[in-house]
């Protein structure tokens, strides 16, 4: 074979090599080896595919029914890290973020429980936030509209109103997670916040077993009347209950928005927790602790201070004799002296009377 022939053959061979190997080489440069989440084996993953999955997830969320704030705190943390890991080229980590976020979004369902808890979170952010007058007015209107839709079991429409409320509160789209600083301004913490009390359906049903799905003002008035009577008869106050004072604050916030169903739900939880209280050593000690905290900030006159000390001595004596009911009753007088209302109706009044 001549030199010219051998050169032609070499170029043809190299051309074939490039033609056959080129796609493989290009594919290899666009892939990384990641651990499969199911098999725990290493598999090649396309970098372009990872990028596209992030874009697709974002698009689905922005045009879907759910906001990134509907996720729990651990998944919100994943969303917060996602874009940073993408910028760093941590492709396997990004892939894990997308899979977990996508699975969670697919698992969400707009039902009564979902919308009720979402309303509670948004209302708390609204209550704690420092909004401009116009935004405050808009948000109050939107939350009121959402509450009325919830009372009619129009959950999808109520969820859309709540997404609108989140847009007013934090701006951006449903994919946008507020910065930590902005979250702190509304909540003092990330997520639902340290003051947030989760309401579970079994507590609602346990506290109001005869409600039968009735969500109107008549049902609210009936629950208020029954709960007030129970508190008065048993001489129980919010501080005697687990998260009682926070639940009363939530109730007043919902009632001020004319959010009837959320108001009923929180009252039913209070009723359930009232039924769990037994007057004994633990409950009396709990009262003593609450009174100690209240006394620090109290501004009693000399005569009131003398009366207060006398009541505490009497209650302590009853406690020492294991007369728990007597100690509980005496401490109730001390609580009124420190500013707790004499009338139990006060707890369910939104005007402070």
What are the φ/ψ torsions at residue 45 (nearest 5 degrees)? -125, 130
Structure confidence at residue 158 (pLDDT): 96
First to last CA, the chain: 110
Q: Considering only CA atoms, give the Rg of the chain.
A: 30
Q: In the 3-class helix/strand/coil scheme, how is 42-84 assigned residue by residue?
A: EEEEEHHHHHHHHHHHHHHHHCCCCCHHHCCHHHHHHHHHHHH
317 and 261 assigned to the same domain = no
pLDDT, mean of each 10-residue run, the chain (353 residues):
41 37 47 83 89 93 95 91 90 91 94 92 87 89 93 93 94 89 59 64 88 83 93 93 92 90 92 94 94 89 93 94 95 93 84 49
Say whether both 102 and 122 belong to one domain. no
Asked which of 88, 107, 126 is the last residue of a domain, the reply is: 107
Look at residue 19 in the predicted model and tell me its pLDDT.
38
The residue among 73, 89, 107 that closes a domain is 107
Is position 298 within any domain?
A: yes
Specify whether 293 is located in the same domain as 334.
yes
Q: Is residue 16 one of the residues assigned to a domain?
A: no
Whether residue 18 lies inside any domain: the answer is no
* d(C-alpha 172, C-alpha 168), whole Å: 9
Same domain, 48 and 94: yes
Same domain (yes/no): 59, 82: yes
**Residues 293, 320: one domain?**
yes
β-partners of residue 35 are 42
The answer to whether residue 194 sits within a structural domain is no
pLDDT score of 80: 92
Do 292 and 314 lie in a common domain? yes
Structure confidence at residue 273 (pLDDT):
94
Residue 21 is assigned to a structural domain of this protein? no
User: Rounded CA gap, 225 and 347, in Å?
Assistant: 12
Provide the domain count of the chain: 4
Say whether 110 sits in a helix, a strand or coil.
coil
> Which is nearest to 121 in space by CA: 182, 71, 63, 78?
71
Find the helix packing angle between 260-276 and 112-128, rounded to 10°.
Answer: 100
Please give the residue range of the domain that contains residue 239.
201-276
Is 11 within the bounds of a domain? no
Q: Which residue has the tokens 């906001």?
A: 67
Report how far Cα 186 is from the mean position of its chain's Cα atoms: 13
Q: In terms of domains, do 154 and 171 share one?
A: yes
Residues with Cβ within 8 Å of residue 100, at least 6 apart in sequence: 75, 78
Whether 134 and 175 share a structural domain? yes
Q: Is 162 contained in some domain?
A: yes
Helix or strand or coil: residue 35? strand
Q: Do both 83 and 41 map to the same domain?
A: yes
**Are residues 91 and 117 both part of a single domain?**
no
**Is 117 found in the same domain as 155?**
yes
pLDDT given at position 180? 76
User: Which among 107, 131, 155 is the end of a domain?
Assistant: 107
* DSSP string computed for 262-275: HHHHHHHHHHHHHH
Q: Is residue 10 part of a domain?
A: no
């Amino acid at each position: 074979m001549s030199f010219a022939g051998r050169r032609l053959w070499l170029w043809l061979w190299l051309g074939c090599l490039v033609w056959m190997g080129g796609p493989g080489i290009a594919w290899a440069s666009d892939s990384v080896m990641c651990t499969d989440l199911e098999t725990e084996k290493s598999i090649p993953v396309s970098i372009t595919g990872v990028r596209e999955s992030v874009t697709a997830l974002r698009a689905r969320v922005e045009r879907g029914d759910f906001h990134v704030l509907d996720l729990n705190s651990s998944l919100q943390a994943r969303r917060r890290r996602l874009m940073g890991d993408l910028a760093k080229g941590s492709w396997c980590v990004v892939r894990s973020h997308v899979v977990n976020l996508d699975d969670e979004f697919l698992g969400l369902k707009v039902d009564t429980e979902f919308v009720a808890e979402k309303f509670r979170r948004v209302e708390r952010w609204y209550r704690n936030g420092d909004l401009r007058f116009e935004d405050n007015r808009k948000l109050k209107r939107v939350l009121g509209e959402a509450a009325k839709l919830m009372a009619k079991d129009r959950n999808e429409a109520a969820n859309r109103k709540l997404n609108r409320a989140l847009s007013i509160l934090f701006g951006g789209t449903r994919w946008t997670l507020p910065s930590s600083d902005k979250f702190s301004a509304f909540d003092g913490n990330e997520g639902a916040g340290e003051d947030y009390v989760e309401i579970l359906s079994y507590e609602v049903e346990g506290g109001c077993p005869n409600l039968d799905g009735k969500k109107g003002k008549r049902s609210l008035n009936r629950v208020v009347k029954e709960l007030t009577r129970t508190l008065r008869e048993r001489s129980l106050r919010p501080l005697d209950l687990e998260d009682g004072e926070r639940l009363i604050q939530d109730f007043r916030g919902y009632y001020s928005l004319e959010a009837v169903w959320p108001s009923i739900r929180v009252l039913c939880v209070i009723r359930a927790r009232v039924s769990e209280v037994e007057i004994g050593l633990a409950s009396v000690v709990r009262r003593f602790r609450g009174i100690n905290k209240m006394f620090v900030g109290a501004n009693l006159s000399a005569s009131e201070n003398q009366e207060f000390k006398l009541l505490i001595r009497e209650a302590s004596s009853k406690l020492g004799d294991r007369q728990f009911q007597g100690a509980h009753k005496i401490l109730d007088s001390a609580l009124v002296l420190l500013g707790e209302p004499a009338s139990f109706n006060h707890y369910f009044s939104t005007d402070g009377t």
